[in-house]
Amino acid sequence: MMKRFIYAFMAMVLCVGISASCQKEPNVNDSDNSNVTEIKGRAVHFGAGAPATKTEYGTQNTETHGWPVYWTAGDDVLIYSPNASTEGAESGIYTIATTSETEGYDYRTSAELIAPEEPIIWKGDDTALIDFYATYPSTGVSIDEDGIATFPINFNQTCDITADATSNQYTAEPNMQQNAYMVAKNTTAYTESVGLQFSPIMTTLDIVVNGPTESGAVLALTGISLTFQLTNKVSDTEFKYDIVNGQMVDTGSKEEVMVFIGINDIRDSANPHGFIDLTTGQSVKLTVMLPPNAIGDTKTAKIRIHAQAKNNTSAINKTLTIGKTAGEIVVAASAKRAINLPNINPVQGAANAWMTPLDDDIYVSQLSIPGTHDAGTGKGTSLFNAGQTQDFDLTNQLNIGIRFFDLRPAWRHVEVFGIDLYNEFWIYHGITSTEYSLKAAFDEIVAYLNANPGEFALVIMRHEDETPSSGKDTDKFVPNMKSFLDGYSGYTIPFRADLTVGECRKKIIVMSRTQYTNGPVGAYISSFPGNESTLTTGTPASVYNGNNTARLEVNDYYSFSDQNEKLNRIKALMDRTATHHTNPALVNEWVINHCSGYRSNLGLSTTNAYRKNAEDSNQFAFDYLTGTAKIGTTSYTKPVGSVGIVVMDFAGTRQSGSGTLTAPYYQVHGDLLPQAIIDNNYKFPMAKKPSAGQ
């Protein structure tokens, strides 16, 4: 069916013909009082149409600089009339059925509306003025008797890539039904056709992200976020719009908020994914729709690029500010503007400082935090790199955004001819040693925090006391750990369940599964499950320091034969954690969810066994965070909300292995999963510590 459209920008209108039923219409010019009886009870009732589809932006008009908005048969609108009738419905959802274009109008179409089962009906008085208010979309919106519409704020938006790049640019289509809010009003006496003129109200930006200029560089883009000052919000999730006066309702509020715009690449409908790889010279256009505030003057907006460099240790840390000049209105309220960003090149050693923009008052328990299992194995292990679970060292893990580190120390004492070669805490994985002392690991974390003071890190330890292992002295952990941690007293912080982001900046939250003398410095963990999930056992763990205790849910199902069972346990804990920002009882619950592990039916915990699980579990977690994921043949869509701490193997690289017979390539999605976890912090309002007096 040919799409019919209306002129969109500041003057977009749709003449919606609300025609009466098929009964004979009264002649409103008659002086006969019988007209009153004939009008009473008549429905605003309309023809047939197709199932709901969507509305789309057309091509910009080069003369007027406006954008046409296309309607298709099946779009739904909400119509409300507070005074049409005392007997019928006050409101209803009406479905648009487009008809032929009106001759001589390039940007206008006539349309009919299909009425609901209980339509709005006319009063008996054909001279009474009746108010009609309407909104698009029809769901999630309410309208009151004064024409004040309440709309949800969509913090998590997606744009679909449906076709290959044209002239090296991808165009990602926004979800108009969720984001393109429009309103209409008409006050009229009885008429055969009530005209409704819809105007778009959202401040809309077309943002072009330009890929790298460096030859061979690949930018794995998962989306962008906008941080902007929102005025006149009525709650954490809603704003009100005055349809009569064409502006937001003034509530006096002023708050900085974030909106995330993700990518849904559906060119291959059987294999959709939440990123696009931009190579040299390529770009993608993303559309974001914001509540109707102006951007500019003192109301600046920051655009943050959410991306990783594919298969190398370069990082992306790019934030651009628009509206910096006082008095400069960059985008007027309810207007639409294109913004072309400069080329984004991965920078070796740059830091993905994703925590720095977050509000100080957000609880740490609310965050989605990427972490690494046996984080110290990235520089290799003994026994021919057996048990290696990472490809990056700790500094490069920090640079790509990892903030949670699983470190397994034991005391290492090796003496040759009376000379100590090793006599300190060392990091192990089982019986294999790594290339890291515990001091070297902490020093790298501290150096990163000094360079990026808006960030913080979490370290979980357990005494890796498995033997035989050359040089391990298993009696030294308990008496010596407190002394070691005291050497970092300026960076550690005592645990509380309600720790906030602001309190933890430039700090390390140290949690230990093994108790030590005069501890804990940060916290102890009790009842940590062995090869299980606390949701499966029904017995939660605890993280505590004295009387400061938090419930801790853990999935550490690390050795398994059924990959689908592993995925189900990852999903189950992600689903529970998604309610943390809305369920007051779970606001300060802490979560550690392990994607890491190995298939026991494929052999011992070899490096390749870890890679094989990462290929499956990392991809599932990424797909679940960015769209739809499958377990077996069943597809699942993740509810909006936190995922807590997600621990993975082989963070940082798209593929792991050397391509040899003994170490083939595995597509581990290690560059994409950390970024998807980071992105999740920008998609919804997280719970915060109340301000003084609240």
**117 pLDDT higher than 80:** no
Percent helix / strand / coil, the chain, rounded to 5: 15, 35, 45
Q: What is the mean pLDDT of the chain?
A: 84
Residue 668 confidence class, pLDDT cut points 50, 70, 90: very high
pTM value?
0.88
Residue 102 confidence class, pLDDT cut points 50, 70, 90: very low
- Give the strands of the sheet with 247-248, arranged side by side: 142-143, 148-152, 238-242, 247-248
Asked if 68 and 147 touch (Cβ cutoff 8 Å), the reply is no
Asked if 243 and 236 touch (Cβ cutoff 8 Å), the reply is no
Position with higher pLDDT, 36 vs 597: 597
Question: In terms of Cα–Cα distance, which of 456, 477, 453 is closest to 465?
Answer: 477
Instruction: Read off the pLDDT of residues 345-380 as tens digits, 9 standing for 90 and up.
Output: 887 777 899 999 999 999 999 999 999 999 999 999
**13 pLDDT higher than 50:** no
- Mean pLDDT of all residues in 459-463: 97
Q: Which residues lie below 8 Å from residue 661, measured CB to CB, with a gap of 6+?
A: none
Rounded to an integer, what distance in angstroms lies between the CA atom of residue 396 and that of residue 75? Answer: 49
Instruction: Read off the pLDDT of residues 390-416 as tens digits, 9 standing for 90 and up.
Output: 999 999 999 999 999 999 999 999 888
Q: What is the pLDDT of residue 337?
A: 86
Position with higher pLDDT, 421 vs 48: 421
Helices (H), 323-476: 382-385, 394-399, 438-451
Q: What is the pLDDT of residue 111?
A: 54
Half-sphere exposure of 307 (CA within 13 A, CB side): 32
**315 pLDDT higher than 80:** no
Q: Which residues lie below 8 Å from residue 295, measured CB to CB, with a gap of 6+?
A: 203, 205, 228, 301, 322, 323, 329, 330, 331
State both tokens at 550.
């938090």
Instruction: Read off the pLDDT of residues 272-298 as tens digits, 9 standing for 90 and up.
Output: 899 999 999 999 999 999 999 888 766
Instruction: Read off the pLDDT of residues 483-531 as tens digits, 9 standing for 90 and up.
Output: 999 999 999 999 999 999 999 999 999 999 999 999 999 999 999 999 9
Instruction: Read off the pLDDT of residues 140-159 as tens digits, 9 standing for 90 and up.
Output: 999 999 999 999 999 999 99
Instruction: Read off the pLDDT of residues 672-687 as tens digits, 9 standing for 90 and up.
Output: 999 999 999 999 999 9
Q: What is the pLDDT of residue 332?
A: 85
Rounded to an integer, what distance in angstroms lies between the CA atom of residue 610 and that of residue 446? Answer: 29
- Mean pLDDT of all residues in 574-579: 97
Residue 693 confidence class, pLDDT cut points 50, 70, 90: low
Position with higher pLDDT, 32 vs 465: 465
Position with higher pLDDT, 450 vs 66: 450
Instruction: Read off the pLDDT of residues 227-269 as tens digits, 9 standing for 90 and up.
Output: 988 888 888 899 999 999 999 999 888 888 899 999 999 998 8
- Mean pLDDT of all residues in 55-83: 66
Question: In terms of Cα–Cα distance, which of 531, 530, 506, 511 is closest to 521?
Answer: 511
Rounded to an integer, what distance in angstroms lies between the CA atom of residue 131 and that of residue 124? Answer: 15
Asked if 256 and 229 touch (Cβ cutoff 8 Å), the reply is yes
Q: Which residue has the tokens 């039923």?
A: 21
Q: What is the pLDDT of residue 24?
A: 25
**303 pLDDT higher than 60:** yes
CB count within 10 Å of CB 628 equals 14
Residue 60 confidence class, pLDDT cut points 50, 70, 90: low
**34 pLDDT higher than 50:** no
Q: What is the pLDDT of residue 31?
A: 35
**Segment (H or E) for 296:** strand 295-296
Q: What is the pLDDT of residue 542?
A: 98
Q: What is the pLDDT of residue 297?
A: 63
Name the percent of the chain lying above pLDDT 90. Answer: 56
Helix (H/G/I), strand (E/B), else coil: 234: coil
* CA dist list (Å): 288 to 152, 612, 689: 15, 38, 29
Asked if 317 and 398 touch (Cβ cutoff 8 Å), the reply is no
Asked if 109 and 99 touch (Cβ cutoff 8 Å), the reply is yes
- Please state whether beta strands 203-210 and 156-161 pair in parallel, antiparallel, or not at all (unpaired): unpaired
Q: What is the pLDDT of residue 140?
A: 92
CB count within 10 Å of CB 341 equals 16
Q: What is the pLDDT of residue 108?
A: 33
State both tokens at 616.
């499956």
Position with higher pLDDT, 36 vs 200: 200
Position with higher pLDDT, 24 vs 326: 326
Instruction: Read off the pLDDT of residues 338-352 as tens digits, 9 standing for 90 and up.
Output: 889 889 888 777 789
Least-confidence region, from 361-370, 601-610, 642-651:
601-610
Prior bond to 520 cis, omega within 30? yes
Question: In terms of Cα–Cα distance, which of 340, 16, 53, 329 is closest to 203?
Answer: 329
Residue 104 confidence class, pLDDT cut points 50, 70, 90: very low
Q: What is the pLDDT of residue 328?
A: 61
Name the percent of the chain lying above pLDDT 70. Answer: 83
